[in-house]
Amino acid sequence: MRKFIYLSVMTKTVKLLSLCFILSTGQLFAQNINRNNFFKDSIDAYINRALTNWRIPGAAVCIVKDGRIILMKGYGVKELGLNNKVDPNTLFMIGSNTKAFTATALAMLEAEHKLSLDDKVTKYIPSFKLNDKLAGDDARIRDLLCHRLGFQTFQGDFTYWTSNLSRQEVIEKMAHVKAVYPFRAKWGYTNAAFLTAGEVITRVTDRSWESFVKDRIFAPLGMGSTLALSKDFPMVINKAAPHTIADGRLIAIPFCQIDNLAPAASMSSSVNDMSKWAMAQLDNGKVGPRQVIAADAISATRQPQDIVGDVHHINGWSSVQLYGLGFFLQDYAGHRMVMHDGAVNGYLSSVTLIPDLRLGIIVLTNNDQNALYDALRWEITDAYLKMPYRDYSDTFLARFKNNNAVEQLKDKKLRDSVALNLRPALSLSAYAGQYFSDLYGNMTIEQGGENNDLQMRFEHHPKMYAHLQSIGNNRFYVTFSDPEFGRAVFPFTVQNGRVTSVRVKVDDEIEYTPYDFKKVK
């Protein structure tokens, strides 16, 4: 789903030879970087080299400063194997950078006195419920926009992401999510909350979320190519194709359909259009002399609402990361940063604003396993702050490769277990049947296929299945037909010789929380 590459500290399993090679080549490259004229002399070489190293087919980058375009350029190709160059008008899906548009739209309505961000959600959506009744009754629009419903990050997303559920069904499903934390006690990233916030716009304005953002934000800012819905994206001519890495290979993957979560993640845009969004943000909502977005609305989205956690920069700088409304907020070298990353199947993006420098940085990429979007954020920021050159891309790449090596070793051990042909505790037919999760709904396990293995099929993901192979002791190694959902081990619970349930776990970038499906037939 969303390959958020928040890179952790490298473990000791990295091969010393590989690390030395990465560091030595990085040092040679660094000698050719002109920090004083980074944007004129070195940034093209930096990005093109990084695309190769990260295996990213294409990217688009924009820097705005003091109301002017400093850099706006496409790099690489739109699709692997084709010579179709990315340009400043090439559309990429921007994922969760959609959230800032939704939050801004609601803040605009507040500035126009059509609602209050502290209104209860049930004022506009009477059917809205949470598993904790008191929390559902008291939840405010502001709570939706700053991720403090008590859910764990991504909780419920397996049920929603690329599923056939409607927007209304997703909102109804939220009542079945058993929140991990008490209401408003802890920050937890919640896509369905932003969908609900978008529905509030519909109830207040009597028009769809997509119609409102198009007419009130896209059009007046001149964002003529930007699309609100994922269903329209495949029909665009000038678009970047989505890619991921599966089994060590870079592959193109299908366009994802996520309009049931549209206000959270469905937009696509270009660096040309996003530059207009960034410049309006940096000029307190103005486009020239026109006040397109109320200054109060801009300010409202940047007021800290919740604590995300501590962040430790590789240059030693530490800060507390906060969340506003649709934006992350943090301090860096004495400057407030307003930013967000976005990821959907095959794409990663970042938008960074430093208001006191009137600096905006936009990076769009079409491989969902990279940290170049993050490296460029810091490389460009450091250049403007006249800080030492650090080559973030190579540093992040070393960590990324190490983490991948660790994960591949784990997966190899599981595949080796499959190769041993370990028999399950029961006959395969004993695991087949119908299963049910109160949150997800129905799931079926069938026996068949080339090796008469088990296949798991899901009610709300009819185009996807999971392949189960025994590794003994009622445990199965599972691969999903959609590589974005990952690989895992599913344990079955057996009582008195009969299967009673199975624990299903998708990739962490879809959802951290496992699902217990009970066997009903």
Block residue for tokens 């000029």: 283
- One domain for residues 424 and 467: yes
- Asked if 277 and 267 count as a contact pair (C-beta separation under 8 A), the reply is no
For the segment 245-276, what is each residue's pLDDT rounded down to a tens digit? Answer: 999 999 999 999 999 999 999 999 999 999 99
Residue 187 domain-assigned (yes or no): no
Residue 53 domain-assigned (yes or no): yes
Average pLDDT estimate for 317-346: 96
Residue 464 domain-assigned (yes or no): yes
Q: How many domains does the chain have?
A: 2
Using DSSP's 3-state secondary structure scheme, residue 284 falls into: coil
Which of 404, 435, 469 delimits the end of a domain? 404
- One domain for residues 359 and 505: no
Return the pLDDT at 449: 67
- One domain for residues 361 and 426: no
Domain containing residue 439: 420-519
DSSP code at position 222:
T
Rounded distance, CA 445 to CA 428, Å? 10
- One domain for residues 368 and 441: no
Phi/psi for 37 (5° steps) reads -125, 45
Confidence of residue 105 (pLDDT cuts 50, 70, 90): very high
Residue 103 domain-assigned (yes or no): no
- One domain for residues 338 and 380: yes
- Asked if 214 and 175 count as a contact pair (C-beta separation under 8 A), the reply is no
204-221 residues labelled b (16+ CB within 10 A) or e (exposed): bbeebbbebbbebbbeeb
Residue 351 belongs to a domain with what CATH number?
Answer: 3.40.710.10
- One domain for residues 28 and 58: yes
The token pair that represents 145 in the structure block: 């926009």
Rounded distance, CA 170 to CA 196, Å? 9
Residue among 197, 202, 349, 327 at smallest CA distance from 267: 349
Residue 163 domain-assigned (yes or no): no
For the segment 460-502, what is each residue's pLDDT rounded down to a tens digit? Answer: 999 999 999 999 999 999 999 999 999 999 999 999 999 999 9
**Whole-Å CA distances, 502 to 28, 44, 277, 475:** 52, 51, 46, 9
- One domain for residues 81 and 51: yes
- One domain for residues 269 and 357: yes
Block residue for tokens 């060590």: 248
Which of 404, 432, 460 delimits the end of a domain? 404
The model carries a pTM of: 0.92
- One domain for residues 352 and 446: no
- One domain for residues 459 and 490: yes
- One domain for residues 30 and 66: yes
Which of 373, 404, 435 delimits the end of a domain? 404
- One domain for residues 77 and 223: yes
Average pLDDT estimate for 47-66: 97
Phi/psi for 32 (5° steps) reads -95, 0
Please work out, in degrees rounded to the nearest 5, the angle formed at the alpha carbon of residue 337 by the alpha carbons of 336 and 338: 120
Residue 245 domain-assigned (yes or no): yes
Mean pLDDT, the chain, whole residue set:
92
The token pair that represents 454 in the structure block: 């088990």
Using the predicted structure, report yes or no on whether residue 13 has a pLDDT greater than 80.
no
Using the predicted structure, report yes or no on whether residue 283 has a pLDDT greater than 70.
yes
Residue 469 belongs to a domain with what CATH number?
Answer: 2.40.128.50
> pLDDT exceeding 70 applies to what percent of the chain?
92
Using the predicted structure, report yes or no on whether residue 23 has a pLDDT greater than 80.
no
Residues 6+ apart with CB under 8 A from 453: 428, 447, 467, 468, 469
Residue 271 domain-assigned (yes or no): yes
Using the predicted structure, report yes or no on whether residue 289 has a pLDDT greater than 50.
yes
Rounded distance, CA 83 to CA 81, Å? 7
- Asked if 421 and 56 count as a contact pair (C-beta separation under 8 A), the reply is no
- Asked if 286 and 220 count as a contact pair (C-beta separation under 8 A), the reply is no
Helix (H) or strand (E) holding 252: strand 249-252
For the segment 172-194, what is each residue's pLDDT rounded down to a tens digit? Answer: 999 999 999 999 999 999 999 99
Residue 115 domain-assigned (yes or no): no
Return the pLDDT at 7: 31
